[in-house]
Amino acid sequence: MEATICHLTPYNALSPPSAEAGFRCGRTGMKIAVWAAGLALLAPLAASAQTAAELASGETSSVLTYGMGYHQQRYSPLEQINKNTVKRLVPVWNYSFDDNRSEESQPLVYKGVIYVTTHNATMAVDARTGNQIWKTKVNYAAATPRIVCCGIINRGAAIFDGKLFRTTLDANVIALDAKSGKELWRQNAGDIKLGYSMTMAPLVAAGVVVTGVSGAEFGTRGYIDGWEAETGNHLWRTYTVPGPGEPGHDTWAGDTWKYGGGTTWITGSFDPQLNTVYWGTGNPAPFNTAVRPGDNLHTCSVLALDPQTGSIKWHFQFSPNSPFDYDSVAEMLLATIEVNGVPTKVILHADRNGFFYVLDRTNGKLIGANPYVQMNWASGIDLETGRPIETDVARKARAGELVTVWPSILGGKNWPPMSYNPRTGLAYANTLNFASNYQAVPADYKAGQWYLGMDMAAGWTFPDGPRGYLKAIDPMTGKSKWEAPSDLPRFSGTMTTAGGLVFTGGYDGELQAFDADTGDKLWKFKTGSGIEGQPITWEQDGVQYVAVTTGLGGVYTLFSGDTRLASVPAGGSLWAFALAPQ
């Protein structure tokens, strides 16, 4: 086994801040030099609290942000667990959440402590032993879940300056003391009576706690908030759906903007050098397009934001006037890839609409967009305008006819995040392979009630065979280098490593490791419930760990009617793995 410099560096070793610092921790002498320089420069700052520089670093003893780095590549330079050694990967402990809902939280790791969330608790756990250090309950009114569309969940915390930040189902943002779990501040960010809820992990960018909201299925109007980390003071709110006088307001008819959706329920990414946050926005409300003629900015879009002010630097809309619930909230993954031979700072985004996008993140210009799943609503993307070239399926759907649309309203890929491995140049995504039977119906807005405008009872069209594929996607073509099919679609995040592996989970409860180059399944372990979580890895005292939450109950469990899941017990917990001695 090849030791890397990463294993030898102390906890607080830091590489220079960069959106993509993650893969600088490697083997070459040059990279070691960069690493050491970063260490010398930043060590004094890293005494006990998490600094902005730490959050931006790619150091491997911690997992400090949603997405394993501001870039959200979910890539680790660690390689103790690799293609050869992964067969020795064994569980080292299991920690019960005492909860039987869906567990979608991405754990964070800092100085040997794991911080993890459920819908009703925040927990600190000793990373080596699995012992609970503290657990702080989250209380919300029993009526709250009435307006939570797609699973009673939470997706994780953010850490900064000795504090943990998280959101709650009843739309509060709270800060906890990371040492004790004591609540430090709490701010309300939305009214559950209007259908607002929160499930996403906050982002701390340039010292500002940034949060989004859920609730487009209830006719809410989406926004993103900035909060002062120390006090919780509200700094700014940027509505995704522009109000009167704001640019884009004219893409809405009459009052429709007030209930226009465009919620912001997945964490944005951040480029510290460009000082820009990239945040995806959700579907317009209701689904029925007859209610809301126009492009409906900025739904189904990405917004480039200034984290200090929330002002919009640029936007790009993936699906104008979408009928099909094609949220664009999923990760805006930041990478540098060669475009026509030139290393280019891009966003990689596998949209629910079935196209894999490459955007220039300095200006929002479209570089490429290609299908990565079966689709029939559009035949391509016009690279000049960025607009989809729609087919009859979309036109008929808009006219109120019953259509079978690929991908389904759950998308070519739903929220579970993909990863990107700079060594293979591939994005690893859990994709979905089924269609919706779609028909628009009238929608009446009533505060706090479903505002869908679609006949949900029309259901799905499922193919025989696999309903999902883990795909290794070439960003520039959308084509797969390999595909790993699965009868039950996978709804777990993916994570990839310099050890040449891709980790992900299945609804059957298996945590799985694939060869990143070939897609061969090299390892699996049954976790006891279905995995909808987000695998992470870190190293501590020379040992590389992998952790993931297990526990089914998310959107597919609830809406698919897939009774095969009846054989998968509920029950949330956190598993940690490491290599057994040889």
Give the binding site for another protein (CB under 8 A). Answer: 100-102, 142-146, 148-150, 152, 217, 439, 441-444, 446, 449-450, 452, 455-457, 459, 552-553, 557-566, 568-570
| Shortest CB 2 distance to ligand HEC, Å | 49
In whole angstroms, what is the distance from residue 27 CA to residue 4 CA? 6
Determine the residue with CB nearest ligand HEC: 145
Residue placing its CB nearer to another protein in the complex, 99 or 351: 99
Out of 225, 295, 306, 325, the active site residue is 325
| Shortest CB 558 distance to ligand HEC, Å | 8
Residue 145 sits in the site that holds ligand HEC (CB under 6 A): yes
Residue 95, strand partner residues: 574
Residue 315 sits in the site that holds ligand HEC (CB under 6 A): no
| Shortest CB 467 distance to another protein, Å | 15
Instruction: Give the CA angle between residues 438, 406, 397 to the nearest 5°.
Output: 35
In whole angstroms, what is the distance from residue 146 CA to residue 187 CA? 21
At 56 the three-state DSSP class reads helix
Residue 140 sits in the site that holds ligand HEC (CB under 6 A): no
| Shortest CB 100 distance to ligand HEC, Å | 9
Rg (CA), the chain: 22
| Shortest CB 533 distance to ligand HEC, Å | 20
- x/- site string to ligand HEC, residues 384 to 403, per CB under 6 A? --------------------
Annotated catalytic residue 351: no
Residue placing its CB nearer to another protein in the complex, 114 or 148: 148
Alpha-carbon distances, residue 555 vs 148, 168, 195 (angstroms): 11, 18, 17
439 binds, among another protein, ligand HEC, none (CB under 5 to 8 A by kind): another protein
- The answer to whether the Cα torsion of 206, 211, 216, 222 is positive or negative is negative
142 binds, among another protein, ligand HEC, none (CB under 5 to 8 A by kind): another protein
Strands of 6-48, DSSP E: none
Residue placing its CB nearer to ligand HEC in the complex, 148 or 178: 148
Count Cα atoms within 13 angstroms, Cβ side, for 275. Answer: 9
User: Which of 146, 179, 396, 398 contacts ligand HEC by CB under 6 A?
Assistant: 146
**CB–CB of 186/203 below 8 Å?**
no
Of 100, 79, 114, nearest to 1 by C-alpha is 79
164 binds, among another protein, ligand HEC, none (CB under 5 to 8 A by kind): none
Residue placing its CB nearer to another protein in the complex, 287 or 355: 287
Alpha-carbon distances, residue 322 vs 240, 250, 251, 259, 471 (angstroms): 15, 17, 13, 15, 25
Q: How long a stretch of residues is the chain? A: 582
Instruction: Give the CA angle between residues 148, 100, 218 to the nearest 5°.
Output: 5
Residues that bind ligand HEC (CB under 6 A): 145-146
Return the active site residues. 325
